[in-house]
Amino acid sequence: MSIVVLAAVFLLSTLLVTYWKEIKEFLRFRKMIAKLPSPNIPTYPLIGHTYNFVGDAAYFFHYISSMAKQYIMETKNKLTIIWLGPMPLLMALHPDTAEVILKSSKHMEKSYVYTFLHPWLGTGLLTAGGEKWKQRRRLITPSFHFDILQDFVDVMNEQTQTMISKVDEKFKSGQKVDINKVVTMCALDIICETAMGKTVNAQSNYDSAYVKSLYRLSDIIQLRQKTPILWWDFGFEKLKIGLEHKDLLRVLHDFTKSVITQRMETHKSSKVTKRMAFLDVLLHAVTEDGEKLSLSDIQEEVDTFMFEGHDTTAAAMTWAIYYIGSHPEVQKRIHDELDKVFGDDVDRNPTMDELKRLQYLEQVTKEALRLCPSVPLIARVTTEDCEMDGYLIPKGTQAAIFIYALHHNPEVWEEPERFDPDRFNKENSIGRNPFAHIAFSAGPRNCIGQRFALLEEKVIISKLLRRYVVVSHNKKEDIRMEGDLILRPADPLNISLKLRSDV
Ligand code: HEM
């Protein structure tokens, strides 16, 4: 035997001995994954199923949602495996399988695909794991205390008033109102002011560098998540898109950093601020070890709120308004409810108590979120073996909950495509599986901003509908939906307005 062969055998045996534990675990993982059900679509080494994902974000969402719906109908399975390149991704498609992940205090770590959010959000509440997440959740929960939400409702009312003035102006001059854009910019102004105590005046200034960078960066992150070839940081950073990514991050971070440092100065000089912003809660917060949060700790939380806190509500409102505009009988019931609460006063700001009384509107927002959940898919990684629907799932599995597919699963929802807000009246809600409607996720890592979001939806939609009738002209089946991070219409919806007083 030549010396080269001997050296190769020696090297191989050393590698085998050194990494035997990892190799054994990898083989065990692959063996268990191979036993899990998957759709009857060819998969290839290295690229897996991703050859089907070429095309724009709308095509991608159409592909995976139709594939999941068909798979559920044909097999009635509650889970499936798809291959994101070389990585298997488990998808929970039913409340029973989603519950295993969401309810557990074990599988709380976020999946690999969330790492592409780290350059922007660091490891703030959305992306953090383990002890850091627990500590942050404890610190941040008081930001949603009733008294602070009350201040936030004042901000919502003021920004909505600006939105209504802009809508009125356009309406009077006969211009088309792009509902998605109008509510998105309003939601952005609301989150800036509530999170940072500063407004970017997005409603007046669509072209702000901050606003533009925020949207472009979200696009790039989505593209990275579904394109394994862009996963490697070193290679990505050298590409044109990687350089653009870096520039956009600079714009966003510079902006939030300057707002935070200004606010820190205000706190030092103990100038009284008009209202508490989420940032003020963070500046006052003290950890269990008696330490204050650092500038970068605070920045990752502020950036997280800016990301999670406006596009989600904007998409939810856009879909809700679309469904209201295509269901006159639903709109009539909302108008009746608004008249009962506000009489014929179309201007007065709603109080917390009045918002609470808008129960039917709340049912409408829930049903719109069932059909079009703003966050269509979330993902974790399993931290130990677990059982799902009789299958053994190995530790280390990337496990997604396909919220959109679960909300359209005919095994869970009768006539799932039908828009019916009465599904959420008191009587029909009795006994419903708590994991059947998970637009805000569920369990210990559910959405911390859920109450904020529902208040915002009610403030904006009620103000709009007290004055206007909305009419939707698109057929649902013709609407292309984009859904990677956020589920939104790919093209502007054709929704027109009529004054209620003219109808
Ligand atoms: C209709 C509006 C909203 C929807 C549908 C929504 C949905 C969700 C979902 C599905 C999650 C779980 C994410 C995951 O596991 O990866 C989540 C988490 C989160 N949401 Fe929301 N969200 C909305 C509005 C908001 C708002 C307004 C805020 C802030 C003001 C917010 C802040 C957060 C944060 C910080 C988390 C991470 C919580 C944690 O991991 O402890 N969300 N949201």
What is the C-alpha separation between 211 and 278, in angstroms, rounded? 20
What is the C-alpha separation between 438 and 326, in angstroms, rounded? 24
Question: Is 104 in contact with 443 (CB distance < 8 Å)?
Answer: yes
Specify if 439 maps to a domain: yes
Low-confidence ranges of the chain (pLDDT < 50): none
Atom of ligand 1 nearest to the CA of 456: 27
Measured from the Cβ of residue 3, the count of other Cβ atoms closer than 10 Å reads 7
The domain in which residue 341 lies consists of 32-502
In terms of Cβ atoms closer than 10 Å to its own Cβ (0-12, 13-18, 19+), residue 475 is: exposed
436 CA to middle of ligand 1, Å? 17
CA 110 to chain centre: 14
Render the burial of 261-295: b for 16+ CB within 10 Å, e for the rest.
eebeeeeeeeeeeeebbbbbbbbebeeeeeeebee
Look up residue 350 and give its two tokens.
Answer: 């709603």
Strand 377-381, strand 398-402: pairing: antiparallel
What is the C-alpha separation between 165 and 187, in angstroms, rounded? 15
Listed as own residue / partner, the contacts of 293-296 with beta carbons closer than 8 Å and 24 or more positions apart are 293/139, 295/257, 295/260, 295/261, 295/264, 296/122
Specify if 269 maps to a domain: yes
454 CA to middle of ligand 1, Å? 12
Q: Whose CA is nearest to atom 3 of ligand 1?
A: 312
In terms of Cβ atoms closer than 10 Å to its own Cβ (0-12, 13-18, 19+), residue 439 is: buried
Predicted pLDDT at 226: 80
Predicted pLDDT at 21: 85
Specify if 22 maps to a domain: no
Question: Is 224 in contact with 217 (CB distance < 8 Å)?
Answer: no
Specify if 72 maps to a domain: yes
304 CA to middle of ligand 1, Å? 10
309 lines ligand 1 (CB under 6 A): yes
**For residue 456, which of 255, 302, 314 has the smallest C-alpha distance?**
314
What is the C-alpha separation between 2 and 364, in angstroms, rounded? 77
282 CA to middle of ligand 1, Å? 18
Strand 481-483, strand 79-84: pairing: unpaired
278 lines ligand 1 (CB under 6 A): no
Look up residue 385 and give its two tokens.
Answer: 């073996």
Look up residue 399 and give its two tokens.
Answer: 């496990």
Predicted pLDDT at 1: 62
Place of tokens 């070193």: 234
200 CA to middle of ligand 1, Å? 22
403 CA to middle of ligand 1, Å? 13
413 CA to middle of ligand 1, Å? 24
Residue 141 identity (one-letter amino acid): T
Render the burial of 212-239: b for 16+ CB within 10 Å, e for the rest.
ebbeebbebbbbbbbebebbeeeebeee
CA geometry: angle at 237 spanning 231 and 242, to 5°?
A: 90
Predicted pLDDT at 60: 86
pTM: 0.93
Specify if 246 maps to a domain: yes
Specify if 2 maps to a domain: no
Atom of ligand 1 nearest to the CA of 369: 5
Q: How many domains does the chain have?
A: 1
Question: Is 46 in contact with 85 (CB distance < 8 Å)?
Answer: yes
374 CA to middle of ligand 1, Å? 10
Specify if 13 maps to a domain: no
Residue of 447, 450, 451, 487 with the most ligand 1 atoms within 8 Å of its CB, for mutation: 447
Convert the pLDDT of each residue in 99-126 to its tens digit: 999 999 889 999 988 999 999 999 999 9
Q: Whose CA is nearest to atom 14 of ligand 1?
A: 378
305 lines ligand 1 (CB under 6 A): yes
What phi, psi does 350 have (nearest 5°)?
A: -70, 145
316 lines ligand 1 (CB under 6 A): yes
Specify if 8 maps to a domain: no
Place of tokens 């690999």: 112
Q: Whose CA is nearest to atom 43 of ligand 1?
A: 447
Strands annotated E in 231-351? none
Residue 358 identity (one-letter amino acid): L
Please report, for the domain that includes residue 41, its CATH number.
Answer: 1.10.630.10
